[in-house]
Structure 1
Amino acid sequence: MIPGPDARSADEIVRIGRLLYDRRYVVATEGNLSVRIAAGRFLITPAGVSKGELDASRLVELDLHAAAADGQAPPPSSEWRMHAEIYRLRTDVAAVCHGHPACATAFACARTELPVSLLPEALLILGDDVPLLPYITPGTDELAASLRGRIEDRDVLLLANHGVVTVGSSLAEAYQRLETVERLAEVALGAKRLGGGVRLTRRQRELVREARRR
C-alpha cells in the first residue's frame, strides 16, 4: 500500500488513467502517466497494464536520477526514461501524461504541426505552438534526450509517428492539455474538410496572449 500523500497521487493516476482509456486517448496497454513525489522520486504506471484497469497499489516508484529500472516488480512503463528526463529538466512540473489520441496522433504521423492559432482556447491552454519532434524509437534513452531544448519552455509536445506528451503542475492539468490537443486536432481536421480553417490574425493572437497574462 502506498502511504500518506503519495496515496493521493496514486489515486489520481488511477482516476486519470480511466479517463484516458474511457475517452479512447489510449487503447489496450498504450500510454503512461506519472506524478512527482517527495525526495526526487516519482510514481509511474506499470508496463503492460490497461490504463482503464490500473491498481493504485501496483504503481511503480522510481528515482528520477536512476540510470536503470532493473529489478522493479512490476516493471515500470517502458517510457520511464522520458518521464525522468522531464522531471530533471522541469523542476516546476509535477506530472506527465503521455497518450495516443487518434486525431492528434494522425497529425504526428503526417509529420504536420498542429494549427494552434485556429482556436483561442488552444492558445490559452497550449501556448503559441506545439513542437513536433522527429521520430525516435519509443522507450529509449535517445527519445528522452530528444526532449532537451524543447520541453524546457513548452508544456505539450507532438512525437512523430507516436503520440502526445503533456506536463502540468498537477496530473489533472497535464490531462487537460492532452484533451485540448485532441480537440484542436479534431477541429483542424473538420475545418480542412470544409475547405480549410481560418487562423487568428497576429493582432487577435496578441489579444489572446494578453488575456492569458491577466
Structure 2
Amino acid sequence: MGCNFSYEPENKLPEIIRCHNHKRPDELPDNWQARVDLATACRGFYFYGIGLRNAMFNHAVAVAKRKDGTGSCYLLGPFGVLWKDVTPESIVEIDLSEGEKAWESLRMPDTAVHIMIALQKNRPDCIAVFHCHPIYSLSLACTKNAKIEQLNMTFMELCHDIGYYGSKVEDWETYYNDWFQTLGKNKHVLWLANHGVTTIGHSIAQAFEKMTAMEQAAEAQVKAMSTGQPLRLLAPERTKQLIELLQDDYPDHAQAHLDSFRNLLPENCLKPDS
C-alpha cells in the first residue's frame, strides 16, 4: 500500500548527526575521488534518464574522508541542479564534527542527510545511497503486488537483492529507518510502493550500478508486459548458476560501469588542483 505523510521538515539535523561514521577514516574513500565518483554517477543518471534528470527530489549521498584526510563527512549532490551539470566542485560537503552548524548555512532540504543518517544507523557497511524516481520502476511500483520478475539474464541478480516497502508512517525518521531495516543485512535495492527506488552500496559505484540495473530491468519488464503475452520466466536453478558465473567473470563490473561515464565530466574536473 502507499505511504501518507503529515510532516513539516525542520531546518536542523537530529542529534545523531554529531556522531561520526562507523567506519575508520582509512576505510573511507578519498574526498576528491568520492566527489568525482558522485558527480560521474549523477551524470550517468542523466544519460539513463533516471530520476527525471534532476536533483530536486532525487538524492545522491556518500560518506568520505574530509579534505584534510581526517575524520569523515557527507557529500551530497547539489539541490536544484540538472544531473548533467553536477561537477566534483559542486558537490556539497557536510563536516560531521560540526553538527547542526554545518547544515544551517546550506539553505537546501535536509532529506538527503536524514536518509544517510538512517543508512549509517542501520547499514554501517555501506557508504553510498541514491534515492530516485525513475519512471519504469515507479510505474511498476504503482501496481498491486508488483515485483521484478526473473526475466532478463543481464539483471537477474536483482531479484535476490530487492526489498519491498509500502508501509504507512507518520514521520520521516521512522520512515527512513524502516527503509534500511527492510533491506536487512545483505540487500541493496529498496522498491518503495508508489514512490521510487533507493539503492545502497559499499562503494558509490555499487549503488550506481544497482540503480541503473533496477531501472533497466523495470523497463524491460514493463515493455514485455505491454505486449499482452505471457511472461517467460527464467528457471530459479538456471538463474542461480548464471549469477555465480557473472560474479566470477565480472568481479569489478560496477566500478567499470561507473568509470565508463568519466568522459561526461569536463576534463578540468578530473584533477583537484585544476
- With the shorter chain as reference, the TM-score category is 0.7 to 0.9
SS in 2 for 1:131: strand
Supply the distance in 2 between the matched residues of 1:7 and 1:136 (Cα, whole angstroms): 39
Q: Which residue of 1 is the match for residue 49 of structure 2?
A: 24
Supply the distance in 1 between the matched residues of 2:204 and 2:85 (Cα, whole angstroms): 18
| Aligned: 1:200 with 2:234 | yes
- Name the structure, 1 or 2, with higher relative contact order (CA <8 Å, separation 6+): 2
SS in 1 for 2:232: coil
**Larger Cα-atom Rg:** 2
Supply the distance in 1 between the matched residues of 2:171 and 2:213 (Cα, whole angstroms): 25
1:14 is matched with which residue: 29, 39, 42? 39
Q: Deviations over 1:18-61 (max 9, x none)?
A: 22123221224231111111335321223333323324334132
Q: Which residue of 2 is the match for residue 34 of structure 1?
A: 61
Counterpart contact for 1:94–1:169, Cα < 8 Å: yes
SS in 2 for 1:147: helix
CA RMSD of aligned residues (A): 3.1
The number of residues matched between the two structures is 210
- Consecutive unaligned residues of structure 2, counting only runs of 5 or more, are 1-28, 66-70, 249-274
1:99 is matched with which residue: 128, 132, 136? 132
Counterpart contact for 1:133–1:159, Cα < 8 Å: yes
Moved more, 127-136 or 23-32: 127-136
Q: Which residue of 2 is the match for residue 75 of structure 1?
A: 108
Supply the distance in 2 between the matched residues of 1:172 and 1:5 (Cα, whole angstroms): 14
Change (3 A) 1:212 1:55: closer
Q: TM-score, normalised by structure 2?
A: 0.66
- 1:136 deviates by 5.5
SS in 2 for 1:79: helix
Q: Which residue of 1 is the match for residue 195 of structure 2?
A: 162
Change (3 A) 1:137 1:149: closer
Supply the distance in 2 between the matched residues of 1:22 and 1:104 (Cα, whole angstroms): 16
- 1:140 alignment partner AA: W
Supply the distance in 2 between the matched residues of 1:123 and 1:85 (Cα, whole angstroms): 28
Q: TM-score, normalised by structure 1?
A: 0.82
Supply the distance in 1 between the matched residues of 2:93 and 2:144 (Cα, whole angstroms): 33
**How many percent of aligned residue pairs carry the same amino acid?**
19
